[in-house]
Amino acid sequence: MARTQYERITTKQTLNRVKEERMPFDWSINPYRGCGHGCSFCYARAFQSFIGMGAEDEFQHHIFMKSNAAEALEKQLSSAARKFDHDIEAMRRSIGQVTIGTATDPYQPIESKEGITRECLKLLAKYRISTSITTRSPLVLRDLDILTQMENVSVNMSLNTLNGDIIRKLEPASPHPEGRLDTIHRLSAAGIRTGLFVAPVLPFLTDKESELRELLLQAKVRGVSFAMISLLRLSRDVKKWYIETLKHQFPEVVQPYRELYAQGAYAEEHYVRSFKSMAARLQNECELNGLTTEASAAGVSQSGTIGSGTSQVEGAQVEGARDQLRSVQNLVAPAQPRKLPQPAAPVSGDELMPDVEQLSFPF
């Protein structure tokens, strides 16, 4: 087994502007480059070429840690605050949404030791920035003391199957599905808005409708607020590594993959259309359509009755899903008491208070 190398680097800026208009956020933060979870299909493997590295095993076993990420973030946010004469609310509105973990997991194993993500999260809380976190790891629970004090925060748990064998073979160091579901439960119980990212769905391995429905229902029982479902994309560098992994783990699907992705990074059009239709149907059935609660109420009322914009067929599907959900609720055992990850030191009130407010005093 390859030994993981950790390398400290410095960054000029931690907040990075997202220029892609289709993305639902304005800024991204990635405290690390490379990821110890080692997911063979990870799109971020392709980014290695930007720094002269390959998308292969190096992605998992050579991790770059942005050791000054918090300091650089403090500099960016304090500068923004000065532009608005320290009007924190105006600054917050101007910055918009920040997402942590767009190209690497911010709670990969080394974070338990380094705490870089935690220090960045303190600053986002301090400046009241709207924040979204995407991770596969229960380690995010360590930072509940910060998350529960943030005004607008959500956590998206990535999980594309309940099959632990597939997880272990294709995501060799990522947490078990049950651990991720338990994390959803604990975050939701603490009042944190949680989402499920069923991503990426892997053709021939995790794309069965019945299994995806079961995954959505298991997450809903544990309090997930919404779900997003997306299909595997294979850029050239990622495709090479992923296919090699399949040769060892699931050789029977190698040829079907070559045929399905023969035209490039995306699956052939007929499969994509069928998949999108299925995904939309499942989200509708489970009432996890990726929208806010208020927006989704247009289709399903708060009382649980089908709205006027829903067809009789769709209504029957939703009712069937509710029946299945009730069955799942009866089967799911109460969460067993588990020791939560704990920070080295609890966050203090001063750490989460803007400097201008720390200087104020009553007359």
The pLDDT tens digits for 147-187 are: 999 989 999 999 999 999 999 999 999 999 999 999 999 99
- The residue type at 270: H
The yes-or-no verdict on residue 142 having pLDDT over 50 is yes
- For 181, residues 6+ apart whose C-beta sits below 8 A from its C-beta are 159, 218, 219, 222
β-pairing verdict for 62-66 and 5-9: parallel
Per-residue pLDDT band for 115 (boundaries 50, 70, 90) equals very high
Token pair, residue 241, equals 């590594």
Kindly state the average pLDDT of the residues 102-108.
94
Q: What average pLDDT is seen over the chain?
A: 86
Please say if the pLDDT value at position 69 is more than 70.
yes
* HEC-encoded secondary structure of the chain: CCCCEEEEECCCCCCEECCCCCCCCCEEECCEECCCCCCCCCHHHHHHHHHCCCCCCHHHHEEEEECCHHHHHHHHHHHHHHHCCCCHHHHHHHHCEEEECCCCCCCCCCHHHHCHHHHHHHHHHHCCCEEEEEECCHHHHHHHHHHCCCCCEEEEEECCCCCHHHHHHHCCCCCCHHHHHHHHHHHHHCCCEEEEEEEEECCCCCCCHHHHHHHHHHHHHCCCCEEEEEECCCCHHHHHHHHHHHHHHCHHHHHHHHHHCCCCCCCCHHHHHHHHHHHHHHHHHCCCCCCCHHHHCCCECCCCCECCCCCHHHHHHHHHHHHHHHHHHHHCCCCCCCCCCCCCCCCCCHHHCCHHHHCCCCC
Contact 192, 33 (CB under 8 A): no
CA geometry: angle at 34 spanning 162 and 228, to 5°?
A: 40
For residue 17, give the nearest of 25, 7, 9, 6 by alpha carbon. Answer: 25
Using alpha carbons only, how large is the chain's radius of gyration in Å?
Answer: 21
Work out the number of other CB atoms within 10 angstroms of the CB of residue 73: 26
pLDDT for the residue numbered 194? 98
- Are 211 and 198 contacting, i.e. CB atoms less than 8 angstroms apart? no
Encode pLDDT of 185-233 as tens digits.
999 999 999 999 999 999 999 999 999 999 999 999 999 999 999 999 9
Task: Give me the amino acid identity at 212.
Answer: L
Tokens 């705490």, residue located: 115
Instruction: Lowest mean pLDDT of 57-61, 63-67, 185-189, name the range.
Output: 57-61
pTM of the model: 0.86
**Per-residue confidence at 333, pLDDT binned at 50, 70, 90?**
low
Q: Is 164 left (phi over 0), alpha (psi -120 to 50) or beta?
A: alpha
- pLDDT the model gives residue 293: 39
Q: In sequence order, which residues have a C-beta less than 8 Å from that of residue 153 and are 6 or more positions away?
A: 130, 131, 132, 133, 147, 192, 193
